[in-house]
Amino acid sequence: MAYTPISNLPTPPSRQEPSTFSVRADAFLGALPDFGTEVNAAGDYIDAKGIEVDAAAATAATSASAAATSATNAAAAQTAAEAAADATLWVSGTGYVVGDVVYSPSTYFTYRSKAIQTSTTDPASDATNWVLIGVGGTALLSITNTTATQDQTAFTGSYTAGAVVVTLNGVILTDTTDYTATDGTTVTLATGADAGDEVGIIGFPTFLVADTLPLAGGTLTGALAGTTATFSGAVSGASVAATGAVSGASVAATGAVTATSGDISGEFIADSYNETFATLSGTTPAVNCETGNVFALTTSGNTTFTFTNPPATGTAYGFTLKVTAGGTHTLTWPASVDWAGGTAPDAPASGAVNVYVFFTHDGGTNWYGFLAGGAMA
């Protein structure tokens, strides 16, 4: 904002001039409010300039940091370029000493010798004796410049298909329109060059992320393991294991499918399946619905059962309970059990076995109980 000048105050009153005192006093006092406003405006102006100065200082500091980083990178690039400039073609069987610089005949990248050696392995494949020269040990570029003969179309360089720039007399050409580059070594121009044209082939380094799957498709050769897994389509593999839920439209495996919970919205088909068996004990055993589907108890006294952790309403759950009477003992069931015929069956006699079946579909509000087998030896 523009600075607003502060107006001069009128001549102040003086007791030495009584004849003008009152007039000057009125004028002086009347000017003070405007004077105060102008002083405050000047203060605001100074504050705003202070903020601008702080912002400019922060910007300057950021620019200085960026400049320092650029300088560091430039120095590293210069070091790599200087090292590469003296590189000679690596030749198998040649003796090299520490510090010798060569370029690979297969990649055209430059390498520095780490040992006194008679080298028989291309430096591109011998990280034990050679170190790649580049910024941070990474290859910079593979650059090949060729002076063309009349109507020449094929030029040789080193590149990865899709990671190459081709120039003609400094002008970048268009892939597939002006040239083709697919095999990693040859670039073919669509139109032959003139004698003396400069053709440049610039290959960029690439990297490969291993052991990943694409967003669509892909095959796992081993087990899929995790805390949870949710799929909109089929889950297929030699085995599927998870410590949490496995959810999908279908799950298919030639081996085990293991999870603490699962939700399949489609059809589940299996040649056979196993249920977890849990042994109960004591006179107040809890049938924990999350630990199995088949339970067994040998009574040691009058027994009272509780059923815990049934699934939520809308999901059905059932279990089988085998009770072996360890003596003449009574059995007390949860009040939520609705027995066939309205009456709980008798407890097994001492030494006998009863088998019970229970199921619920409303979160355990009601259990339906049946005696599947009684007085079994």
Structure-token pair, residue 355: 């088998």
Report which of residues 200 and 231 the model is more confident about.
Answer: 200
* The two three-digit tokens of residue 278, written as one number: 């849990």
pLDDT digits (tens, 9 = 90+) for 355-366: 999 999 999 999
CATH class of 277-376: mainly beta
User: Which segment of 62-66, 125-129, 140-144, 215-219 scores lowest on mean pLDDT?
Assistant: 215-219
The architecture that CATH gives domain 86-132 is Ribbon (2.10)
- The pLDDT tens digits for 99-135 are 898 888 877 778 889 999 999 999 888 989 998 876 4
Tell me the range of 13-17, 105-109, 349-353 where mean pLDDT is highest: 349-353
The residue count of the chain comes to 377
Residue 136 confidence (pLDDT): 45
242 band by pLDDT with thresholds 50, 70 and 90: low
Residue 159 has pLDDT above 50, yes or no: yes
In 10 A of CB 367, how many CB atoms? 23
Q: For 2-13, what is the mean pLDDT?
A: 83
